[in-house]
């Protein structure tokens, strides 16, 4: 398989995650970080704008991760990245590597459902170059799950975005997809320890884990801290 195309680059056209409020923004590009193999220690804040949106007249220039990180925990592969659409690429990569069975479930733990329709479903999921194009040029943070269902990568998406969701019992094989904004202030009506422990349980049973730090939706230093707690990683201050 060809080397990953995630080498660190800018998206300058109004496509993908760069489309939001493009005409009204002062900054016209967003950065997509490089993918490295490493450990949780390598998940760190970067200095480039990865998500740019106008909210109530204010331009928010959200900085993301220094690098995307792929790491192994026991026999599982975990991918950590900032904007959530990259999950689509890492799902296809993991499928190609036979890390999960096509047609299993995806468990999506997120403040948002991310079930919007993309502008098209035209992607060859067996061609990683095309998957890369589609992930970065067509998909955005809100519409990357439906294409995976449409192409039968997953048979169903189990959405956990509420206290009710956390009480569901997940049966059978699944890929776990976490958005760290499940720990944003808006979700504080669900006790922190409860969320943490439920996700830790899901981590144990998952085949592959994709994790978005979602710069626009949660403060990144805090997101990284929570990430390390999820994996019982000792945080050295």
Query: Is residue 27 included in any domain, yes or no?
Result: no
On the question of pLDDT at 234 being above 60, the answer is: no
How many domains are contained in the chain? Answer: 1
SS3 state at 32: strand
pTM listed for this prediction:
0.95
Query: Is residue 223 included in any domain, yes or no?
Result: yes
Query: Structure tokens of 180?
Result: 């760290």
Contacts of 108 (CB under 8 A, 6+ apart): 114, 145, 157, 158, 159, 160, 177, 179
pLDDT, position 130: 98
pLDDT band per the 50, 70, 90 thresholds, residue 233: low
Query: Is residue 41 included in any domain, yes or no?
Result: no
Query: Is residue 11 included in any domain, yes or no?
Result: no
Domain range for 193 is 69-230
Mean pLDDT of 191-203: 96
CA-CA distances (angstroms) from residue 89 to 22, 114, 128, 137, 223?
Answer: 24, 16, 8, 12, 22
**3-state percent helix, strand, coil for the chain, nearest multiple of 5:** 30, 30, 40
Mean pLDDT of 33-42: 96
On the question of pLDDT at 237 being above 70, the answer is: no
> How much of the chain exceeds pLDDT 70, in percent?
97
For 3, other C-beta atoms within 10 Å of its C-beta total 8
Query: Is residue 97 included in any domain, yes or no?
Result: yes
Compute the mean pLDDT over every residue in the chain, rounded to the nearest whole number.
94
pLDDT, position 232: 85
Query: Is residue 214 included in any domain, yes or no?
Result: yes
Q: Which residue has the higher pLDDT, 42 or 234?
A: 42
pLDDT band per the 50, 70, 90 thresholds, residue 95: very high
Query: Is residue 205 included in any domain, yes or no?
Result: yes
Q: Convert the pLDDT of each residue in 142-153 to its tens digit.
A: 999 999 999 999
């Amino acid at each position: 398989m060809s080397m990953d195309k995630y080498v660190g680059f800018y998206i300058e056209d109004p496509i993908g995650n760069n489309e939001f409020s493009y005409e009204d923004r002062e900054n016209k590009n967003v950065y997509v970080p490089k993918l490295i193999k490493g450990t949780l220690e390598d998940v760190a804040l970067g200095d480039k704008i990865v998500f740019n949106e106008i909210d109530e007249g204010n331009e928010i220039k959200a900085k993301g991760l220094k690098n995307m990180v792929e790491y192994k925990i026991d026999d599982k592969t975990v991918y950590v990245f900032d904007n959530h659409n990259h999950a689509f690429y890492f799902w296809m990569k993991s499928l190609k590597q036979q890390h999960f069975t096509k047609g299993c479930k995806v468990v999506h733990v997120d403040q948002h459902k991310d079930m919007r329709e993309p502008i098209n479903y035209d992607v060859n999921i067996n061609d990683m170059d095309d998957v890369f194009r589609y992930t970065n040029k067509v998909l955005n943070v809100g519409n990357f799950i439906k294409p995976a269902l449409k192409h039968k990568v997953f048979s169903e998406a189990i959405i956990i975005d509420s206290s009710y969701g956390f009480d569901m019992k997940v049966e059978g094989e699944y890929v776990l997809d976490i958005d760290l904004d499940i720990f944003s202030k808006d979700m504080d009506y669900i006790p922190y320890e409860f969320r943490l422990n439920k996700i830790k349980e899901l981590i144990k049973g998952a085949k592959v884990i994709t994790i978005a730090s979602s710069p626009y939706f949660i403060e990144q230093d805090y997101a990284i801290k929570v990430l390390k707690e999820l994996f019982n990683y000792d945080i050295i201050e």
